Amino acid sequence: MPEPSVTTPQATTTDPGRTRTPAPKALVTRLDIPALIARLTLEEKAELLDGSDFWHTQPVERLGIPAIMLSDGPHGLRKQQEGGDHLGLLDSVPATCFPPAAGLASSWDTSLLTRVGEAIGRECRAERVAVVLGPGINMKRSPLCGRNFEYYSEDPALAGALGTAFTHGVQSQGVGVSVKHYAANNQETERMTVSAEVDERTLREIYLPAFETVVTEARPWTVMSSYNKINGTYVAESRALVTEILREEWGFDGLVVSDWGGISHRARTLTAGVDLEMPSSGGTGTRDILTAVRSGELTEDDLDRAVTRVLTLVDRAEAAGDAGRTFDAEAHHRLAREAAVAGAVLLKNDQGILPLNPADGGRIAVIGEFARTPRFQGAGSSQVNPTRVDSALDALRTAVDGRREVAFAPGFVVESEAADPALVAEAVRTAEGADAVVLFLGLPPSYESEGYDRTHMDLPAHQIDLLNAVAEVNPRLVVVLTNGSVVRLTPWQDRAQAVLEGWLSGQAGGSAIADLLLGAATPSGKLAETIPLRLEDNPALGNFPGAFGRVHYGEGLLIGYRWYDTRQMAVAYPFGHGLSYTTFAYDDLEVLIRSDGAEPQVDITVTVTNTGDRPGTETVQVYVTDHESTVSRPAQELRAFARVTLEPGESRPVTLSLGKRAFAFWNEALNRWAVEGGSFGLRVGASSRDIRLETTIGLTGDDLVLPLRSDSSAEEWLSHSEAGPWLRAAIGDEGFGAIMADPHNGQMIRAIPLQRLSRFPGFPLSEEQIDEAVTRFAAAAS
* Pair 674, 667: CB distance under 8 Å: yes
CA 150 to chain centre: 9
Residues near 318 by beta carbon (within 8 Å), at least 6 away in sequence: 30, 31, 66, 68
The contact pattern for ligand BGC, residues 118-157, with x = CB under 6 A and - = no contact, is ---------------x------------------------
Q: Shortest gap between Cβ of 454 and ligand BGC (angstroms)? A: 17
Residue 672 to residues 127, 243, 301, 313, 667: CA-CA distances in angstroms? 44, 17, 31, 31, 6
For ligand BGC, give the closer residue by CB, 133 or 419. Answer: 133
Q: Shortest gap between Cβ of 52 and ligand BGC (angstroms)? A: 15
Nearest residue to 646 via CA among 2, 5, 17, 158: 5
Nearest residue to 614 via CA among 644, 659, 648, 638: 648
**Candidate list 20, 56, 86, 229; residue touching ligand BGC; CB under 6 A:** 86
For ligand BGC, give the closer residue by CB, 410 or 545. Answer: 545
Give me the sign of the Cα torsion angle 173, 241, 181, 31.
negative
For ligand BGC, give the closer residue by CB, 133 or 274. Answer: 133
Give me the sign of the Cα torsion angle 153, 158, 159, 162.
negative
Q: In the annotation, is 259 catalytic?
A: yes
Q: Shortest gap between Cβ of 53 and ligand BGC (angstroms)? A: 13
- Kindly report the number of other CB atoms within 10 A of residue 46's CB atom: 27
For ligand BGC, give the closer residue by CB, 223 or 459. Answer: 223
- Interaction of residue 381 with ligand BGC, rule CB under 6 A: yes
Q: Shortest gap between Cβ of 590 and ligand BGC (angstroms)? A: 44
* Pair 440, 414: CB distance under 8 Å: no
For residue 40, how many C-alpha atoms fall within 13 Å in the half-sphere facing its CB? 27
Angle between helices 209-218 and 156-171 (to 10 degrees): 30
- Strands of 483-630, DSSP E: 498-501, 550-552, 584-595, 601-610, 616-626
For ligand BGC, give the closer residue by CB, 15 or 275. Answer: 275
First-to-last C-alpha distance (Å) of the chain: 64
Q: Are strands 676-687 and 690-701 parallel, antiparallel or unpaired?
A: antiparallel
d(CA 637, CA 561): 8
For ligand BGC, give the closer residue by CB, 15 or 72. Answer: 72
For ligand BGC, give the closer residue by CB, 106 or 383. Answer: 383
d(CA 703, CA 681): 21
For ligand BGC, give the closer residue by CB, 56 or 462. Answer: 56
Residues near 109 by beta carbon (within 8 Å), at least 6 away in sequence: 10, 342, 643
**What residues numbered 248-267 form the site for ligand BGC, per CB under 6 A?**
259-260
For ligand BGC, give the closer residue by CB, 86 or 397. Answer: 86
- Interaction of residue 277 with ligand BGC, rule CB under 6 A: no
Q: Shortest gap between Cβ of 180 and ligand BGC (angstroms)? A: 5
Q: Shortest gap between Cβ of 378 and ligand BGC (angstroms)? A: 12
Total number of residues that touch ligand BGC (CB under 6 A): 7
d(CA 624, CA 664): 11
The contact pattern for ligand BGC, residues 64-83, with x = CB under 6 A and - = no contact, is --------x-----------
Name the catalytic one among 259, 275, 458, 515: 259
- Strands of 351-476, DSSP E: 363-367, 385-386, 405-409, 436-442
Q: Shortest gap between Cβ of 530 and ligand BGC (angstroms)? A: 25
Q: Shortest gap between Cβ of 313 and ligand BGC (angstroms)? A: 16
Write down how long the chain is: 782
Question: What are the b/e assignments for 607-632, b being 16+ CB within 10 Å?
Answer: bbbbebeebbbbbbbbbbbbeeeeee
Q: Shortest gap between Cβ of 108 and ligand BGC (angstroms)? A: 24
* Pair 574, 689: CB distance under 8 Å: yes
- Interaction of residue 454 with ligand BGC, rule CB under 6 A: no
The contact pattern for ligand BGC, residues 155-194, with x = CB under 6 A and - = no contact, is -------------------------x--------------
Residues designated as active site:
259
Return residues touching ligand BGC (CB under 6 A). Answer: 72, 86, 133, 180, 259-260, 381
